[in-house]
A = this chain, B = another copy of it.
């Protein structure tokens, strides 16, 4: 059963090893626990629904609890405290596009707010109902999760929007195909959600971001369905896919998604290499990206993340041996771990590996083979479970991310880390901060920063600590040529910073589109554009 107050399945439990706890205690102090609320106590808070009866809508209390919050840190704290604030008045589970249209018409007639809901994994406040006079209907797409068509010649698969990662991949795998879109939230997040929030997966270097995978589909709007046909490419005016991508439920509800799929690769391997220092590592991955070496993934941890990962990995004896070997080969203190993958046919993979090793060798890279790469691949979707493990140990963890041009990566990364590391200095609290670059392009890179801090004495004060940190880092991003999100969208949490990159006139364009599609502002108001 899926956790009602945290990430993933209840059966999956991740524990922090003892030396991991000691590592954190040395860096931010002893952990502190806050009491968890029970589901029963939350259920009693759910008010009567303001919605009229409708056969497709459930106003069951537990359904409303389970669709009230996403996976942002404020959501987490609200769920653990049992302080949900607002619940949707009902949750609909349409099974067809016609039912979505029916629900939209019904909502328009009754002036009901509609929140499209995929996997509920937003980390930016995309699906949270707000208090207000208008009742709120959450529209869950979970029953529209099927592979509806597979055009093997054109490599286009048509899916319902509610298919989550495992549903997408298992249905494709049965025919020998893969979408190749693997965000960390893959176990729960959905195809429609990926499109609506411009998601990017861990192997985007090979398969592309969702922007490149999304070939066409249908957006149900208050004015009727907007159908976008598939073309391999087109010069016929502005591309309407790009208006659906990143629309975050503001313009309509995605009812069908066509994606570009690939044959399952003949061969796939992941490798780990240690670089002696951050400057050399940064130069190496920039060169790899700009030389177009056909790798399928690339992730570079900075020195603190490398140290933290090795400390939290378990098997301290083996790690000590590894570190001794690396030191002998020139990668001692300050070393940075690079994981990269090759995916494709064997001939191509061998050529790619050779190019990568040659280039990394020139930068002092110490190659360690596939063992750590395999570990990365096995644990690639486990990181979100770590929040639970850290919480049990008395720590709060959150992440934030951006992307910027290469000339600005180092500066922006430093400033983000500093803003978080020093963010709670007034309270005498330390914050443990580390970063990796996981999506590289010829032009620049994403920057993905994790920060760990201690809860305060209450949930409210803990939320305040988070707000202080998040705001400090977000203004650093907005003020230093970073995008407010590289892979998670805007939602409510990033909306205050959006104008810094879109500009006043860019915001006016988005407002004009919102006014065109939804003049009454009934679709997910407050998300993307502030109301």
Contacts and interface: CB of A to CB of B under 8 A. Distances in A.
Interface of A: 151, 153-156, 197-200, 206, 209, 211, 215, 221, 223-240, 242-243, 245-248, 260, 262-263, 286, 290-294, 344-345, 347-348, 350-351, 354-355, 358, 403-408, 439-446, 481-490, 494, 498, 501-503, 505-506, 508-510, 512-513, 516, 528
A398 to B, nearest CB: 17
B490 A236 contact: yes
Contacts of A234: 198, 403, 483, 485-486, 501
Which of A262, A488, A502 counts the most B-chain CB atoms under 10 A from its CB? Answer: A502
Given A215-B443, A355-B348, A233 B209 contact: yes
Contacts of A445: 232
A405 B238 contact: no
A154 B406 contact: yes
Contact of A232 (B232, B443, B506, B509): B443
A153 B231 CA distance: 34
A153 B236 contact: no
Q: What 6 pairs across the A-B complex have the smallest Cβ distances?
A: A351-B351, A242-B242, A232-B444, A198-B235, A154-B405, A232-B441
Copies in the complex: 2
A505 B243 contact: no
Contacts of A443: 154-156, 215, 230-232, 260
B509 A405 contact: no
A167 to B, nearest CB: 22
Which of A156, A221, A348, A482 counts the most B-chain CB atoms under 10 A from its CB? Answer: A348
19 contacts: A153-B405, A153-B406, A154-B407, A155-B406, A198-B237, A199-B235, A231-B486, A232-B443, A234-B403, A235-B485, A235-B489, A237-B502, A239-B245, A239-B246, A243-B509, A260-B442, A292-B344, A347-B354, A512-B512
Given A156-B443, A292-B348, 17 more contacts: A154-B405, A154-B407, A198-B235, A206-B292, A223-B505, A231-B486, A232-B439, A234-B501, A235-B246, A235-B485, A236-B501, A237-B489, A237-B510, A238-B242, A348-B355, A512-B512, A512-B516
